Chain A
Amino acid sequence: MTEIVVSVRELQTTFHTRAGPVRAVDGISYDIGKGRTLGIVGESGCGKSVTSYSVMRLIEPPGEITGGAVLLHGEDLLSLPEERMQDYRGARVAMIFQEPMTALNPVLTIGYQMDEQIMRHMGLTRRQSRERALEMLELVGIPAPRERYASYPHQLSGGMRQRAMIAMALSCEPDFLIADEPTTALDVTIQGQILELIQRLQERLQMAVQFITHDLGVISEIADDVLVMYAGTACEKAPTDQLMDAPRHPYTVALLQSIPRIGRRSPRLPAIGGTVPTLHELPAGCPFQNRCPRVVDRCRAARPAMTAVAPGRELACFNPVDER
């Protein structure tokens, strides 16, 4: 077993809305080992991004983390004073986003922003940090790093901006990287380049990576393990190949069937009927019950908890698809 870097326990995040509190994340637990990648998949509103923001403690009112723990090498990030957390953010835990301008300041040069972070977290002088920033820009494959160091974010193309953001996020060699849909806005050939880059840097730094995406193809190629989320809860967790080859939760099964794949022809796609319920109107019991083809009485009475069914494999379902 590899060394556990991150351990999230029963994480719960609540948003206080006018219509009452809603649990955007409700009791999510997972571990990520050194050098390993956990993919988190799910459709819009399933809570995958809120999970990431909660782990980084970037939830702002009306949202609030209302329970659980986020252990980084055994230390609970959720109970740290905010100043300590600031020392950790960008240094020991880093995050990259779908839209690089979430992380980049448009009125400062790429170099200035990188220097600021490197000086603060690594205690280097400006000259040293510039050296380090240039090294990182080169490492992420930005041509002419010296020119780019002096560029503003808008002067870079989308793919290059993504690289610059990654260079910045990884400049202090974090133990844990959260990648929130980092390739969703990119063209498929550029996506391939960025995935290769993340993978290469992960190998080099032996980071634990939490990779959020809605794209099952991307997950398939980059993750060691996958956690499937639905309406704020976890429904299935398994090693990637097991999950893709033999999914057991009816939602995972339906999700995998509903995506078109090159070379696999069928006149109709087996769509999942209905839509994801809004968090306000979640039924008692299993949140997937109203769309589930395998629903049984018990599903309406109680919510199934994540239970270990095999090594590395957990499932939250009263009537799962049989093991193959």
Chain B
Amino acid sequence: MTALLSVRDLRKHFPVRNGLLRRETARVHAVDGVSLDVEPGETLGLVGESGCGKSTLGRTLVRLYEPTSGSVEYRGEDFLALRGERLRTMRRRIQMIFQDPFASLDPRMTVGQILCEPFKVHDASPPRERLERARALLETVGLKAAYLNRYPHEFSGGQRQRISIARAIALNPELVVADEPVSALDVSIQAQILNLLKDLQQEFRLTYIFISHDLAVVDHFCDRVAVMYLGRIIEVAPKDELFRNPRHPYTQALIEAVPCVGAGKKQMQPALRGEVPSPVKPPTGCHFHPRCPKRHDGCDREYPGLVEVGPGHRVACHLHGSGTGAGAIPAAGIQP
């Protein structure tokens, strides 16, 4: 099977400018060498804490941001080289859903106008048919067609997210990048939206990249999960494998830190000390080493590349034999 999307060593750095001349004084390494493949029809989860670069990665993949370097191939075609008409055609196939349904819909447009916009921009259907298609879209996402003449402010958060989803699927995309689509919603509404996204995936054979900080949602919704830390993917695996057998100390801490319903009141024990360092000056070697409970001598010197530790399970950690570092690990460094 060929990958739908194939990303190689993608980087997105943002300049930090200072002073009168706005000279670049530093760089935020938001995405710092990410490689991954997305198979058609799957749901790939991107998880990590704020500032790990998951949203920047998502936006770079749909070319809302132009990457600093690296390559993105869509069905074997160099997506980053596309310009003009070719790019516009390709954009129809890749859509995005945002976290904040209050910010992502133009408050001055009616729902009808919002939903006709994609057809207009891409000249995808004759003007008189557009409204009809908008009406059909609303019904697909579980809203009344009568809502076409209303404005976004008349809707609740969950309803607005349905409108955003309707807009995203208007042009029959293949790939949808959903950036925290349920994070701003109450739990009962969150479940409705997740179910809707699942239904649409089946109906339209969509591929999802699902960005979230909520591991329980990711476990429920995704097929495969990639964990990010400071701009890099540090572990990727099928979700069952990732949640049952996390190998990277950061993934382990992240899963342990999720509060569990029904676990009973307990003596809280922080899974990790310290905070995520600044992506302007990421730590040397493995970015996680300053907080890692299992770090050893080599961790601050060399970045461990992703290595295969099981079927489809790759991890970037010196504990899991990455080329040069493997032999050098002192026995004491490997503790269960």
Contact = CB atoms under 8 A, between A and B. Distances in A.
Contact of A267 (B189, B198, B254): B198
Listed residue (B156, B260, B265, B272) with the most chain A CB atoms within 10 angstroms of its CB = B265
A157 B187 contact: no
Contacts of A102: none
Interface in A25-53: 37, 43-44
Interface stretch (B2-10, B24-32, B209-217, B310-318): B209-217
Contacts of B253: 189
Q: Interface residues of B toward A: which range?
A: 35 or more
Interface string A183-209: 000011111110110010000000000
Listed residue (B187, B198, B264) with the most chain A CB atoms within 10 angstroms of its CB = B187
Contact of B267 (A44, A193, A199, A269): A199
Interface string B214-236: 01110111000000000000000
B336 interface: no
B191 interface: yes
B271 A192 contact: yes
A275 B220 CA distance: 22
Contacts of B267: 199
Nearest to B194: A269
B268 A222 contact: yes
A217 B189 contact: no
Contact of B257 (A192, A224, A245): A192
Interface stretch (A8-16, A84-92, A172-180, A258-266): A258-266
B271 A187 contact: no
A57 interface: no
A256 B272 contact: no
Contacts of B260: 217, 220-221, 261-262
B257 A188 contact: yes
B265 A222 contact: yes
Interface string B192-214: 10110010000000000000010
Contacts of B258: 188, 217, 262
Contacts, number: 143
A294 to B, nearest CB: 16
A262 B270 contact: no
A82 to B, nearest CB: 35
Q: Interface residues of A toward B: which range?
A: 35 or more
Given A187-B49, A217-B258, A262-B216, A255 B268 contact: no
Contacts of A241: 262, 264-265
B123 interface: no
A218 B259 contact: yes
Contacts of B186: 43-44, 214, 276
A189 B276 CA distance: 10
A188 B272 CA distance: 10
B259 A221 contact: yes
A223 B35 CA distance: 42
B261 interface: yes
B195 A269 contact: yes
Q: Which 3 A-B pairs have the closest CB atoms?
A: A217-B259, A260-B220, A271-B191
15 contacts: A43-B187, A43-B188, A159-B275, A188-B254, A188-B258, A189-B49, A189-B271, A192-B270, A217-B263, A221-B268, A241-B265, A244-B261, A260-B220, A268-B198, A269-B194
Interface of A: 37, 43-44, 157, 159-160, 187-193, 195-196, 199, 214-218, 220-224, 240-241, 244-245, 254-256, 258-263, 265, 267-273, 275-276
